[in-house]
């Protein structure tokens, strides 16, 4: 007998789960589906779920030193338009960009790296 395993969400850590969930809901056009105080918050968008768990004494990852950690990727049609949108929502563009013609790397408001990647890769 086998037990089905179904992917649910990516969960990341933050000092304020509700605030970070609101950031990801804003940039993906999704919604915050639940906030459980300082413990957990969830978002839902067309691309899936991003959940945020509260961590006391949170320390953000360092880019690119901690690049072995997972990061989120978001597909976009126009890198600079999408970059402007996420920066207005509170993201910060990293100085180190290993593949800037195809994707841009940002930090979310608490320092998690994420990428905006072209949906139509040139070449």
115, 101 contact by CB (below 8 A):
no
pTM assigned to the model = 0.85
CATH 3.30.720.120 residue window(s) in the chain = 1-57
CATH 3.10.180.10 residue window(s) in the chain = 60-123
Residues paired with residue 74 on neighbouring β-strands, in sequence order:
116
| pLDDT digits 0-9 by tens, 11-39 | 999 999 999 999 999 999 999 999 999 99
| pLDDT digits 0-9 by tens, 27-73 | 999 999 999 999 999 999 998 999 999 999 999 999 988 876 788 99
C-alpha to C-alpha distance for 49 and 30, rounded to whole angstroms: 9
The number of beta carbons lying within 10 Å of the beta carbon of residue 102 is: 14
Locus of tokens 């996420």: 86
Diameter of the chain by CA atoms? 51
Give, in words, the CATH class of 60-123.
Answer: alpha beta
Q: What is the CATH number of domain 1-57?
A: 3.30.720.120
| Token pair recorded at residue 47 | 């691309």
Q: Report the SS3 class of residue 47.
A: coil
């Amino acid at each position: 007998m086998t037990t089905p395993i179904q992917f649910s969400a990516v969960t990341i850590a933050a000092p304020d789960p509700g605030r970070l969930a609101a950031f990801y809901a804003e940039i993906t056009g999704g919604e915050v589906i639940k906030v459980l105080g300082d413990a957990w918050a969830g978002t839902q968008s067309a691309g899936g779920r991003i959940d945020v768990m509260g961590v006391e004494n949170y320390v953000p990852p360092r880019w690119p030193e901690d690049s072995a950690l997972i990061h989120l990727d978001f597909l976009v049609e126009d890198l600079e338009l999408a970059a402007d949108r996420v920066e207005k929502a509170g993201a910060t563009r990293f100085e180190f960009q290993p593949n800037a013609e195809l994707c841009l790397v940002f930090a979310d408001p608490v320092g998690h790296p994420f990428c905006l990647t072209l949906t139509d890769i040139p070449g």
